[in-house]
Structures are given as C-alpha cells and as structure tokens.
Structure 1
C-alpha cells in the first residue's frame, strides 16, 4: 500500500481536486478589490489617513512575526492542521470586516489576515506530501492556476455587481465570507499526510533505487527537533553559497518587499486620484485584467530560450526599471486610467520576473531546499517591507502622505535597477575578458604548433 497508506490508494486526483477547490474558494474574494472604499465608506467611516497609517501596516508586522514559526510548524505538523488554521483565519477575518467597528477592530482584521498570509505556505507545500514525484509538475500547475482563476472570476463579479447592479460593498464581503467558509469545509476532507519534507521524511525506497540518508522524526520527534533545525541551517548555507542563486534571491527579497508595499497601498492611491463616491471606480476590472496579464507573463516564461546565466541580471535590471517607471506613472498621474495602466504594467513585469527567479532557483535545488529557500527569501522580503513601512508609513516614522509614499517606492525600484545593472555589467565585462584570454591562448597555441 505504500508509506502514505489510505492517501496513496486514492491516487493523486482526490487530494488535488480538494486542494484546488480550497484554493478556488479562498481566492474567490469579490470584496478584495474594493477594500479601501469599503473601509472609508459609510459602513465603517474610517478616514484614508487611518487606513494608511494605522490599519494597513498591521498586516506587515503580523505577517513578519508569524511567518518563521508557521514555516517550521507547517512541516512539523504535516500541513493539514495549518491549512485548517488558514481556513479559520479567513472566516475570522471576514466576520471582523462585516461586524467589527472602529480602528481597533479593523487592525484585528489585518492581524488575522497576517496569519492567513503566513499559513499560505501550507497550501503550496501540502500536495507534494500526498502525491508521487511523477505527478509534481501536473499538480503544481493545477494548484497554482486555480487560485488565479478564482481571484479573476471574483474580481469580474465584483465589478459587475458594483457597476451594473450598484450592490453595496457590504454584500461583497458577505459573498466572500460564504466562499471562505465553503473552503474551510472542503479542507476538513483533505487526507492527512504521513510524511513531510523535513521532519517526517519517507523512509522506504522506491523500487530500483538505493537507500538515501534521511532525517527521521517519528516517536523521538521532540528529541531531534533542534537537530533538524541545525541541519536546515547547514542546508541553507549551502544553498546561498552559489553566487548565482544568491543574487536571484536578493532580487526576490527586495522586489517582493516593494511589490507587497505597492499592492498593499495602491487602493489608497486610487482613492486619492478618483474617490469611490464618484462612481467611476473599476478596481475589480483592473485586478481581473492584472491577474490575467500576470498569468500570461508567467506562461510566456516557459517558452523563452535565453541563457539566464549571462542575461539574467540584465533582465532583472531592465524589468525592475519598468517597475520603477510604472510606479512613477501611478504616482504622477491625475487620471485614474493612467494610474490603472501603470498598475497593470507593474504587476505584469513583477510576475514575469518572479516566475523566472522561481524557475532559476528551483532547477538548481531539491524540493526540500527549494521550500527552505522560498521561506527564507519571503522572510527577508517581509523584514525589508517592515522596515519600509516603519520609515515611510508609520506615525513613528516619516508618516508620508500616499503620493510621497509612491514616489519613495518608485525610487526604491530605481535603486534595485541600479544594483542589478552594475551586476550585469560586471558579468558581461568578466565574460569578455575571459573570451579575450581564451582567444590569446588559442593564438599562442597555434603559433607554438607552427
């Protein structure tokens, strides 16, 4: 029957369908594109300043504080309990959004949503513990694409309900609560894995393969917990010893920090450029289009034939410059459509590059090390984002207005561009010098033969 017991008898399809349903319903959130108009509207009546400086920063702080312990516990508890926790966190988030009042209640929303974000790693890692390696590529495609479909469909529905039926934002949140509740019910039926990547590794060898040394965490799991953490640290050191992976990871962390900051506060900027009360808000449509463009750009990556070892840093510099230009366009625009256009370009360029970075790191590492590097890169990104939030947004820092904030974010991506432009020039010059030396060597060799 195999190490996974009843899970394996069901094959790969059963857990994949359930996980995809969970992903679809958790991402089917029609309220999300209109969160800021909802909070600043008549139901909650918060000011834009309160949302920007006292509410939204809580998500960054919460996410950072929770991510590392959740990353470790996710593997230790074998994923499903953490997926259940995520489902409950979704429900609590939208109950508070619907019935909570005042800044403290909405800060509670952001805190719990930080838990949602931190536990998301369980969704993406779970499937690898219940299906065989031969199905990894297939199930990865399903589990990555289905949430995008859910988010796109929800954004389109939200825009239609708001623009055509004039449905109040409150009822968009009711629909979201129903969907995340359905997701939690689905998660109850997920099979419980008997193995995980680090703490509960598979001990039986596949037919025709030699046994490999594994870290086994069963009855003596508590005794060896810190031993596993120490081995993970050694693995991490080896991962970052590759200069190429190190620089891709630096871009990943820096760009993701900036991306999260822009996406987190862009609705506040849109509200500044075109207040929702004017009735010309198309946040839902823009989010739907941006998601489709992001999915398309990620799809295109698979068909591009480029020597990324030579051109990778130049691509990072070029598209980081595109992101910087898009943020500056959003910041200086007084027309909402130009602001929307800048957002579409920004999100597409980031998705294109993060897909390349993910691919470059994944092909050079085992699944375990990739998961470890993924978690650390995101943790560093959150740390950088938290520093940015403390300096730029927080009342204890500079407390900049939303327009000046986006000016800072534009310069932030310009700095990233500069870093990787210099790095790409260094690589090209080094390659040119090596080729020149090789050519000289070949000439001397030919002269010696003569």
Structure 2
C-alpha cells in the first residue's frame, strides 16, 4: 500500500499522532526497509500503511484473515480450550531461563482473549520472527466497547506508566467522553491512536486493515546522524564486501575493519560471525555500525555480544509483567551473555556507532555490550524501546500491542528511553558536504589512539 497523507485520510482531519509527522512526508525513513522492531511491526513509515518490502508476519496474518484464511505460523491453535506452552524451565541458546515462555489467556469484558506475551522468546528464539495469533470470529462491537478493550488491555499489560509519568486513569477520563456510537472506523481509530500516543512508546501500536498507529518522535525530534548515500559514495565506492547480513569495508591504511549491520531482523549464523572476526583478525579494531537499525530479533544481539566475552558475564536483569496492577512484575531475572565453544571472539577495540534510530533489539544490543572493556559507543543516544511486547486481537479484528517487560542494563539503567553513548558525536553539515562522516572519523581516531 503506497501513498502518503493524501492517500490515507482524504476526508478526515489528521489526528494528533499524525499531524506531528505529516510535515516530514517525503523524508527518508530512518529504519532500514525490511527490518522489524520487536519482531512484530517494522519501520513502515509515519504516513503509509505498508510497503511491500516492509512486510511483517503480522501483515501476512492480517491479509490472510481478510481473505478468510485461518492457517497461521507456529502451529496456530484453533480450539478455545487448548493452551500450548513451552516448558516452565525452558532455556535459550545462552542458558538463560525464561519461565514465562507461554501464551496467556486473559479475560477482557467477559470473553476469553488470547494474548501472546513475547516473554524471553524475543531474546532467545529465532522463531520470534513469526508471530502466533489466534483469529477467532467475533461479533461487531460498539465504539465504546472497543475503546474499553484498548484502554483495559493497556492498563493491565503496559509496563512503563511510572517511568513515563502517565496517569492512565486520567487519560481515560479525557478520551472516553469523545467516543460516539455513530463514529466510523477511521474516526475511532484516530481517537484510539491519539490516546495510545500519550504513552510515547514506539512499541505501542494499533493496526487495522487501513492503517497503523505508532509514536514516531523517539527519532523524529533528533538529528539523523546517518547518511547512507554518503557512506556508499564516499566510503564504500564499490569496495565493500557482503558477508551474510554484514556489509564490510577494510580501512587498509588504518588497519581497521568496518561492519555495517542494517537490521537485527537479518538473521546471523555462527558462520557469519566467524567470518567477520577472522576477516579482520589482523586489524587493530572494528567499527560496528548499527545506526538507523530499527531492531528485529534480540537473539542476534545476544549472539554478537557473546563473541566479546571470554566467560559467561551478567549484563543486566529483566522483569516481566505478571498481573493486572501497574507494578505487578516477576522477580528480577539476570541477563547474561556467554561465548560459544570453539568459535572466534573479539578482544580488540570495538567501536559501536549509534543514533536515535537505533531502536528496540539494537537498543538491547547496546545495553549488552556497553561497558565491556574493549567496547566504546560513539554517536548519539539510542532511540530506546526496552519493553518486549504483549499483543492481542480486539473484538473488531484490529490488532493491539503494548510493552509488557522491563530491561535494566548492568548499571541499573532502564533502557526504555535510550542509552547514551560513551562519546557523543554528531555529523557535521560541513563535513557531510565534503563527503565526510563525522562519526566514522571519530571512531577511526579512537582506534588509532
């Protein structure tokens, strides 16, 4: 589905959540096409519903629903009474226990609703890139009923009310009187999107057959600090190598390697990492560029980070929403990274480049590696996105997700709002006009010493 503002809302006043970004129509999307933040919604652009190359598993599922197909990935369960869950002691590839690895059945307005909570799976399983959703026939519901579903689901599952300073009950008081029984779907969607926008969370999304709502200011209010055209024309100049999901460049004169990883949705194999670190084994350091990487699977983040340590190392802790209260969370669970047996690691300097469009799984990766002895983070703060999502299908067929998890870095920082770099550097306009990436040059200087 192409089109910008004029192709989406031609008869309606733009809602608040879209007025803020409409002036930016035509600007390049900072996310890399095809990437998926949180493994559910990719960076589809602030004013378009979907680009074919930005398809997500949720897009496919929604399209199949619209064509009357109910077969979904990961063995969709049809029987209402059947629950399928991983063992309570399931451990990921890094030996981390994820006791909440299961689908939860919640009661919303007296009806059994299936709610998938991406508990530890996003940090553990490649399968997180496919989403299990249960689409069951549901009677048409009034705008008031749908509003209450959205507000209640967020109230019981969202994890950052206190951090964001949001009084969700007060939000309901302001928005619910605006609901009218005669509202059409677009008017209702706009109202719900405005309400969800109050959470200022890129992982909070409402998707209908005609649109996707999302909070975009986590990067739009900040400098871009990344120019792929400059990178291609003034640095790569045709000398780059493509190794799995990485784009590599050898700064031979400086004895420094460069690796660009555009999306954590691009799966990394052990062989990919073996090649990366052996390719630059005789170099003095590596620049690892994850600017404008909008996220994807955190299993990739753990795989890379594991190559930077010699033994299992605790890098933080996480809590999972486990009750209806705003502060109902599991006990803290440690997060650790570990080196794979018999695989090459990287003990030399590694400079990680970030900007505000480094989001979700990228944010998690930075949390895992920042503070390691050989790692320096250079650029701008990451965009945040620290909550693994819980999502559900509403009674009218729309899909809703909210952050339902908290991740704290090794220093105790809640990473939801982003992570500051060790060395803050912004691209200089004069440098850019002369074909110079200020942030890359700062990284080169850092490794040169």
TM-score, structure 2 normalization: 0.27
Higher-helix-fraction structure = 1
Q: Kindly name which structure, 1 or 2, has the bigger radius of gyration based on alpha carbons.
A: 1
TM-score, structure 1 normalization: 0.26
Higher-strand-fraction structure = 2
